[in-house]
């Protein structure tokens, strides 16, 4: 596996898992093999490239594998990533995370292992690298490109928040599952005449709360881009409930949503390699406050709540149709770029058209909901107007 060729492609998946990753890997692999390339699957995202030991006697099966059509065909119909993933940032590796064989050379509190990553790519024999991930994973891919590595990228995140593209792999399945689960849960909300609080993913961007609400799954939504007034939210939800013949109302809550004058809620102080603490708890807090404040808007009578965190249920399992088709197209485009000798690009969907843009777009800005254009801050739900010439999922990459 150390013999250098001029036709070797490496592919990796980083960050959170989503349905659609395996179809993207398959799309690259099947055609690349047909074109005469060897394809290497790098395991556990960037982690496989820092844990690798450059010794032919060492078993690196946990760090990379050669891909075949048989392997990718079998995996492509399933969710998650068969290459596995991690939230590793090679340019900022904690001392405790430095691999044993490198501890003698890297002993700082935070260490940049980029030189090792580049040497490892060369040792495996990889000439072209395809990184699939969100803005964290792809920001390091952009860094590698600046260091001279031939990199192209595919956007993946259920939050749909990678800049430069209207669509990211995993988003459609996430929205589909959220709508389906909300519709299932509403039978309990109606049976007990309660207000239902559903917390969904979305650290800085509220797309995963906005689209299901826009589709009618929830009455209201609160998103990271606009701190909400809890009294106003309570009043609206009580009115929604009392106007509903089934006597319930639903609010979709992004995990990064904030009370007016408040801050994001975290499970603990521990942070990942990209400096992100694990979010959690805003749904619990909203649920408790809604019950506490509800008598104020319900003739003195308290209204109970149902509080459910959808979490990983919307990112697991098989991909839907869109997350089977788009990854195929993205993977094919990434290989097309390699065949043309083009690198440093992010494949994208913009205004319903497949395209590619410079990879450094992922570090140039943030992709968030345009509140003025898409979110009614008085009624706390999406704006339903002026859809002409907008893309499939309405809220484009600005």
Average pLDDT over residues 121-140: 96
pLDDT of residue 274: 57
Whether residues 119 and 188 share a domain: the answer is no
d(CA 294, CA 146): 55
d(CA 49, CA 139): 16
Helix ranges restricted to H, the chain:
21-34, 47-51, 69-75, 114-124, 135-146, 171-191, 207-214, 230-243, 282-297, 322-339, 361-364, 371-374
Q: What is the DSSP code string of 74-123?
A: HHTTSSS-TT------TTSEEGGGS-GGGTTT--SSEE--HHHHHHHHHH
Q: Give the count of domains, the chain.
A: 2
Is the residue at 391 inside a domain? no
Whether residues 200 and 232 share a domain: the answer is yes
Whether residues 139 and 178 share a domain: the answer is no
**CATH code of the domain in which 149 resides:** 3.40.50.450
Average pLDDT over residues 59-67: 96
Residues with a catalytic annotation lie at: 159
Whether residues 152 and 274 share a domain: the answer is no
* Per-residue tokens: 203: 């650290």
d(CA 162, CA 133): 9
Is the residue at 397 inside a domain? no
User: What is the extent of the structural domain holding 146?
Assistant: 8-169+317-364
pLDDT tens for each residue of 275-332: 656 676 899 999 999 999 999 999 999 999 999 999 999 999 999 999 999 999 999 9
d(CA 337, CA 332): 9
Report the percentage of the chain scoring pLDDT > 90: 89
For residue 358, give the H/E element and its range.
Answer: strand 353-358
Whether residues 268 and 165 share a domain: the answer is no
pLDDT tens for each residue of 8-59: 999 999 999 999 999 999 999 999 999 999 999 999 999 999 999 999 999 9
Does the pLDDT of residue 163 top 90, yes or no?
Answer: yes
Is the residue at 56 inside a domain? yes
Whether residues 104 and 62 share a domain: the answer is yes
Whether residues 13 and 149 share a domain: the answer is yes
pLDDT of residue 6: 54
pLDDT of residue 277: 62
Is the residue at 1 inside a domain? no
């Amino acid at each position: 596996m150390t013999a250098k060729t001029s036709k070797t492609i490496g592919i990796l998946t980083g960050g959170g898992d989503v349905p659609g990753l395996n179809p993207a890997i398959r799309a690259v692999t099947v055609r690349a093999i047909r074109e005469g390339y060897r394809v290497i699957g790098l395991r556990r995202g960037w982690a496989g490239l820092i844990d690798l030991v450059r010794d032919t006697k060492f078993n690196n099966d946990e760090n990379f594998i050669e891909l075949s059509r048989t392997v990718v065909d079998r995996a492509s119909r399933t969710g998650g990533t068969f290459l596995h993933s991690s939230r590793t940032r090679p340019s900022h590796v904690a001392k405790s995370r430095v691999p044993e064989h490198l501890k003698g050379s890297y002993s700082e509190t935070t260490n940049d292992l980029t030189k090792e990553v580049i040497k490892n790519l060369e040792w495996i024999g990889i000439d072209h690298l395809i990184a699939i991930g969100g803005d964290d994973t792809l920001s390091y891919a952009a860094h590698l490109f600046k260091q001279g590595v031939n990199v192209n990228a595919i956007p993946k995140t259920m939050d749909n928040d990678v800049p430069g593209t209207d669509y990211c792999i995993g988003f459609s399945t996430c929205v589909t599952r959220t709508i389906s689960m909300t519709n299932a849960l509403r039978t309990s909300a109606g049976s007990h005449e309660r207000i239902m609080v559903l917390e969904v993913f979305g650290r800085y961007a509220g797309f995963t709360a906005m689209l299901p609400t826009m589709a009618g799954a929830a009455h209201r939504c609160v998103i990271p881009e606009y701190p909400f007034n809890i009294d106003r939210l309570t009043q609206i939800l009580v009115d929604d409930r009392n106007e509903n013949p089934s006597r319930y109302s639903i609010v979709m809550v992004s995990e990064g949503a904030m009370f007016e004058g408040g801050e994001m809620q975290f499970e603990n102080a521990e942070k990942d390699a990209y400096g992100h603490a694990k979010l959690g708890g805003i749904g619990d807090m909203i649920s408790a406050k809604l019950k506490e404040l509800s008598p104020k808007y319900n003739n003195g009578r308290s209204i109970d709540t149902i509080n459910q965190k959808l979490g990983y249920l919307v990112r697991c399992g098989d991909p839907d149709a869109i997350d089977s088709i788009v990854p195929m197209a993205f993977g094919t485009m990434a290989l097309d770029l390699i065949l043309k000798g083009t690198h440093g690009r992010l494949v994208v969907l913009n205004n319903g058209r497949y395209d590619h843009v410079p990879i450094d777009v992922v570090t140039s800005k943030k992709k968030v909901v345009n509140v003025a254009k898409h979110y009614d801050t008085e009624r706390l739900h999406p704006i339903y107007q002026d859809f002409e010439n907008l893309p499939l999922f309405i809220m484009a990459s600005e």
